[in-house]
Amino acid sequence: MKNFTANLVICFFTLFLNSQINASGFFGSSDSEGKSGLMAEAIKYAELAKTHKAHPEEIHEYAKMSLEYVKKAEIQAIEHDNTQARTHITESLRRLVEAIKHARMGHARIATEYIDDALVEMYQMTDN
């Protein structure tokens, strides 16, 4: 019975520590976590596109979804007269369009490179 109680205590202690580590984000997180709004959605879909490096069809679909959110963010930036954000958005749009074009042609590696470039611009916009 002592072994059972000791094992039970160890299990609860392990679960407690595991939940504390996960809550602190120790194991890492996606760059889009913690961000909100249209650009966060665009980043999320661009990151998903990036994870499908060898599948141009998947890159194409996720890049198109990201592009839609970036377009909406552009409209929002125009409405708020945010010229600094618009610069990053314009570059993100340009690179996403290129990624979609190359994914459509089956060039997964090149499309992924354009996704990476678009993500850099998106991150810079959200950091400002």
Q: How many Å apart are CA 74 and CA 28, to the nearest integer? A: 30
Short-list 96, 21, 91, CA closest to 66: 96
Q: Say yes or no: 18 and 58 in one domain.
A: no
Length of the chain: 128
Dihedral of CA atoms 5, 10, 16, 21 in degrees, nearest 10, equals: 180
92 pLDDT above the threshold of 80: yes
Same domain, 56 and 109: yes
| pTM as predicted | 0.70
DSSP the chain: -HHHHHHHHHHHHHHHHHHHHHHHTTT---TTTT--SHHHHHHHHHHHHHHTTT-HHHHHHHHHHHHHHHHHHHHHHHHTT-HHHHHHHHHHHHHHHHHHHHHHTT-HHHHHHHHHHHHHHHHHHHH-
Q: Which residue has the higher pLDDT, 124 or 30?
A: 124
More confident residue, 12 or 124: 124
User: Same domain, yes or no, for 8 and 55?
Assistant: no
Residue 19 sits in the same domain as residue 71: no
Q: Write out the residue range of the structural domain in which residue 54 sits.
A: 38-127
Domain count, the chain: 2
Closest CA to 104 of 70, 68, 56: 56
Same domain as 54, residue 8? no
How would residue 29 be classed by pLDDT, with cut points 50, 70 and 90?
very low
Residue 46: is its pLDDT beyond 80?
yes
Same domain, residue pair 69 and 121? yes
Same-domain pairing of 77 and 120:
yes
